[in-house]
C-alpha cells in the first residue's frame, strides 16, 4: 500500500508526540509537588513583617496567604486583591 507520507516521517512525528506527552506529565508532576510543598508550610515559616515591608506580600499565592488568614481568623471570601487588603489592614492594625 502506498502512503502520501514517508514512513520515517511518521515515526519521527510519533516519537515527537510521545516526548511532548512525557514532558507534559513531568510538568504536571512538578506543579503538584510545588502545591504540596506550599500546603505543608506553616504560618511560622514566613517572615510576614519582612514580606509586608518589602512589598513581596503581593507575590504570594492564594494558598500561601491562606496560612496568614487561618492563623488570624480572617475572612477567606473574595478575590485575591480583597484578601491582600484584609491582610495588609490587619497587619497595620497590629503594628500600631
Express each pLDDT in 73-84 by its tens digit: 887 777 777 778
Domain extent, residue 20, equals 1-40
Query: What pLDDT, in 10s, does the model give residues 39-65?
Result: 888 777 888 888 888 888 888 888 888
Same domain, 52 and 34: no
Return the residue matching grid coordinates 519582612: 50
Same domain, 20 and 55: no
Return the residue matching grid coordinates 510521545: 18
Same domain, 25 and 54: no
Return the residue matching grid coordinates 504560618: 43
Same domain, 34 and 56: no
Percent of the chain with pLDDT over 70: 96
Same domain, 47 and 83: yes
Torsion angle of C-alpha atoms 69, 72, 67, 83, degrees rounded to 10: 20
Amino acid at each position: 500500500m502506498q502512503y502520501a507520507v514517508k514512513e520515517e516521517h511518521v515515526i519521527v512525528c510519533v516519537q515527537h508526540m510521545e516526548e511532548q506527552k512525557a514532558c507534559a506529565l513531568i510538568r504536571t508532576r512538578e506543579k503538584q509537588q510545588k502545591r504540596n510543598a506550599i500546603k505543608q508550610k506553616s504560618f511560622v515559616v514566613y517572615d510576614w513583617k519582612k514580606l509586608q515591608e518589602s512589598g513581596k506580600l503581593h507575590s504570594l499565592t492564594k494558598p500561601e496567604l491562606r496560612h496568614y488568614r487561618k492563623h488570624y481568623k480572617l475572612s477567606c471570601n473574595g478575590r485575591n486583591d480583597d484578601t491582600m487588603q484584609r491582610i495588609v489592614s490587619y497587619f497595620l492594625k497590629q503594628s500600631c
